[in-house]
Every structure is written in C-alpha cells, then in structure tokens.
Amino acid sequence: MSIVDSLRAVGVTAKICLPTVVDAFRERVSLDECDRRLAWWSRELLRQAGVELHVSGTENVTEGEAYVVMSNHRSYYDIPTVFCALPGGRLRMVAKKELFRVPVFGQAMLAAGFVKIDRDKRERAIHSLRESGKLLAGGTRVWIAPEGTRSKTGELGSFKAGGFHLAIEAGVRILPLVLEGTENVMPADGVVVHKGAKVKVRILPPIDAPSYGRGGRKALMKDVRAVIAGALGQAP
C-alpha cells in the first residue's frame, strides 16, 4: 500500500474533473463526453490499483432500460467498480451533499448530472428525488446506496426509503448489485489505496418496484434488502 497510489488516484480524478468544470463554465457540457470521461476514469482507477475485477449476472441487465440501481456500500472504490461493472446505458449516482463541497470535484459532479441529496432537510431530499425521476424518464440509470453510508464492518446496514419511493413513483425496476472486496482496495474510513485486491460484483435479477404500489414500499425495501443480504450470506 502507498500514499503515492492515493495521490495518483487524485490525479486521475482531477484529469476528468477540470475539463468538465471548464465545459460547464463555457456552457458546453456534453453528457456523452461525460460518459466517456467516467468510463476512462473508472477503468484507470481500477487499473492503477491493480484490481482484479470479476463480474457476474450481466445477463440480468436489459440494454436501454432505466433502472434504479441499488448496492451495498463499503468503499469509495464502489464508485469506479460499479461504473466498470454495469454494462450498457448511462449511469449517474445520487450522492451525499458533502461530496459536492469538494472544490472542482463537486462542481464536476453537478455538471455531469450527478444528484446531490441533503438527507437533513426533507424538502431538499424530495427535490433530489424529483431530479432523479427526470433522469430516469430520460433513460438514465440512477444508482443509490440505500444504506446511505459506507459499512465499516461489511455488515449490511438498514435501508433508507428514498430510493424505493423513487422507483415506485418513476415506474422503473430496481437492479440490485452486490459488491465484495472494494473495502480491500480502500477501507470505509481509509484514504490509502491497497493494491492487488480481488473485487466481485454480482448483478442480481431486477425487482419490479411498480408492482408493489405506493402502499407496498416497506415490503419492497424488505425484499430488496433480503436479496442483497442473501447474496452476501448475511441475515435479511
């Protein structure tokens, strides 16, 4: 492990953030170009970290379908891992407001179409969900970590309701993902990159959120958590 590898990761991130911010300033942001930058960034971060990535379940993804993507959350390296693992279609994530405060990085996220959520203020959280609904209506997949924070133990935490409201209201299916090994690249409370980790991503069959209806949100949350926990070998 080396702080040098962490600094290299910062450099790779700056390499896509700076031109995106400049494009935003010039009002010339291209989402297709943002997609290309994100694809390069995610591959390069994993390559530099020497990650051995194994993906299964790609047959569960329908090309062109907009999903609310949900996964467990263990590391900042979940982000490039999911961007590398999920085939076909534009993907953006709903991220906590604190990430958007990071100079340049936060501005680039906004310009690229990432959604900021403020869980402390209900009105702002509702606004974020509405913005996410617009993305889904336009065919973009929206990725949410329903635990809301990175697990320090690997145990799946309790789920927050927002993403489930979104899937039901937007009329889209939920695509569950299971991530294992990203915490070995960078732990939840760490800043140093550990090279050579083996990372597994399992894409599980989609769950038909709209069929639950508005009154079935809690049942939907329970079912999605159960399939992710089951794939992790944990109690639902």
Q: What is the pLDDT of residues 156-203, one digit of tens each?
A: 999 999 999 999 999 999 999 999 999 999 998 888 999 999 999 999
Indicate the pTM of the whole model.
0.93
Averaged pLDDT score across all residues of the chain: 92
Q: Count other C-beta atoms under 10 Å from residue 66's C-beta.
A: 22
- What's the confidence (pLDDT) of residue 130? 83
Of 64, 202, 210, 37, nearest to 140 (Cα)? 64
Domain that holds residue 151: 3-232
Does 209 score more than 60 pLDDT? yes
CATH of the domain at 216: 3.40.1130.10
pLDDT at 1 over 90: no
CB atoms within 10 A of CB 201: 23
Which residues are CB-contacts of 101 (< 8 A; sequence separation ≥ 6)? none
pLDDT category of residue 74 using cuts at 50, 70 and 90? very high
In this model, does residue 26 exceed pLDDT 90?
A: yes
Report the domain count for the chain.
1
In this prediction, residue 118 carries a pLDDT of: 76
**Residue 35 confidence (pLDDT):** 96
Structure tokens at 74: 């263990």
- For the beta carbon of residue 227, count every other beta carbon within 10 angstroms: 17
- Alpha-carbon torsion (137, 72, 185, 60), positive or negative: negative
